[in-house]
């Protein structure tokens, strides 16, 4: 993740999908405490959206299901989060803005 150096370098993160060029991902999370999963209750992320998973990404988990069902360009909405929407220029990604905004800045 941008700005966090090696302390957040987990080489085997399963089912990782990039949402922005600046480092926002949706990915599997297997390293939480099994008796106290953070999903939907705790703000323990460095800016990513973590979904329950297992190490190696094998098995029937929410993260695998989401990964298998998603397509490039799918809109991602995170509900009940105090954080702001990703800015359209965060990664210069056309999928982060509406069509009217996109064509307003083009030569079309």
DSSP assignment of 68-89 equals HH--TT-----TT-SSPPPPTT
Task: Please give the Cα distance from 70 to 29 (Å, whole number).
Answer: 17
Domain boundaries, the chain: 1-82
pLDDT at 4 over 50: no
Provide, rounded to the nearest whole percent, the portion of the chain with pLDDT above 90.
10
52: which strand partners? 29
Q: Are 57 and 80 within 8 A, CB to CB? A: no
Task: Please give the Cα distance from 38 to 97 (Å, whole number).
Answer: 30
pLDDT at 94 over 50: yes
- Which tokens hold the place of 76? 């991602």
- Phi, psi (5° rounding) for residue 94? -60, -20
Show which residues are catalytic: 27, 48
Overall average pLDDT of the 32-45 stretch? 67
Confidence of residue 2 (pLDDT cuts 50, 70, 90): very low
In this prediction, residue 1 carries a pLDDT of: 40
pTM listed for this prediction: 0.66
In this prediction, residue 69 carries a pLDDT of: 94
Q: Name the average pLDDT for the chain.
A: 75
């Amino acid at each position: 993740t941008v700005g966090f150096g090696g302390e957040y370098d987990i080489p085997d993160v399963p089912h990782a999908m990039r949402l922005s060029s600046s480092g926002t991902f949706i990915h599997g999370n297997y390293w939480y405490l099994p008796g106290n999963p953070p999903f939907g209750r705790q703000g323990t992320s460095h800016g990513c959206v973590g979904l329950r998973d297992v190490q190696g990404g094998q098995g029937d988990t929410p993260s695998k299901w989401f990964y298998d069902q998603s397509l490039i360009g799918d809109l991602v909405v995170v509900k009940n989060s105090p954080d702001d929407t990703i800015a359209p220029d965060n990664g210069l990604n056309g999928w982060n803005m509406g069509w009217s905004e996109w064509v307003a800045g083009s030569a079309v």
